Structure 1
């Protein structure tokens, strides 16, 4: 089961954050925490906090084992850019772009574990959905045919052709 944690609008360039993110991609979650502990980069602390949040989500919300988790995917995308201006020589101004990062961590289990109770619940839900679909299909097949009035029975609408549909003089 995949567990996702996101950090939005982290005020550091995505290029700098990706250096740290590449270190933990694909490794065991506990090993990634140890790796981030000793990395001498500013982005290591928020990524470590995000990873611990994802682990806590997996343990508390999905009742997965911490020892069975690994970093399946970590993505660092560019977020919104804050623009500022810096005075330069001869009355000019140059733009300063303060970039932000969107960090997404996906954890997954090394060895899939499913409880028997979960499988039974999912089967009963699937059976209920199938019954609903059958009922909808049966009601759709029992359509009533409406009889048109005498005037519209014999009248057949003539098609004006293909060109008037495309080349209209007036819009709207």
Structure 2
């Protein structure tokens, strides 16, 4: 079964969050939260809260155990920009874009890996 969580309109740049999102794909949620809690920036706290939300969605809505979960995907999407103006010299103004972000985290149950069968080969390692 799959579970997901989304947090929208975060006041944080998507460019800064994408690197963190790539680092936690494929991890168990507890490992991802541990890694993100060590970081000193705001993005780690935002992503860890999204992971916690996805895990609680899985346990409450699907009534399943959270021990065998893996993070399948982390989507960091661009939200709307807030436009502000900064006065500069000679009566002009420059535009400031305050960017927002949408985070979508998808969880799935980890598949138990079975050992693959190795095909029989001849002595020199080629298939006949």
Q: Under TM normalisation by the shorter chain, which class is it? A: 0.7 to 0.9
1:19 to partner: Cα distance: 2.1
CA contact (8 A) 1:4 1:106 kept: yes
Structure 2 residues not aligned, in runs of 5+: 113-128
CA contact (8 A) 1:26 1:71 kept: yes
CA contact (8 A) 1:33 1:48 kept: yes
The structure carrying a bigger strand percent of its residues is: 2
Question: TM-score, normalization: structure 2?
Answer: 0.83
Q: How many residues align?
A: 112
Distance, in Å, in 2 between the alignment partners of 1:67 and 1:100 is 32
Please identify runs of 4+ aligned residues in structure 1 that moved more than 6 A.
none
Structure 1 residues not aligned, in runs of 5+: 113-172
Structure number with the bigger relative contact order (C-alpha 8 A, sep ≥ 6) is 2
The structure carrying a bigger helix percent of its residues is: 1
SS in structure 1 of the partner of residue 9 of structure 2 = strand
Aligned to 1:13: 13
1:26 to partner: Cα distance: 1.5
Matches within 5 A, 1:49-128: 49-111=49-111
1:90 to partner: Cα distance: 1.4
Question: TM-score, normalization: structure 1?
Answer: 0.62
SS in structure 1 of the partner of residue 105 of structure 2 = strand
- Larger radius of gyration between Structure 1 and Structure 2: 1
Aligned to 1:23: 23
Distance, in Å, in 2 between the alignment partners of 1:79 and 1:59 is 29
* RMSD (Å) for aligned C-alpha atoms: 1.2
Distance, in Å, in 2 between the alignment partners of 1:71 and 1:41 is 21
1:18 to partner: Cα distance: 1.2
SS in structure 1 of the partner of residue 35 of structure 2 = helix
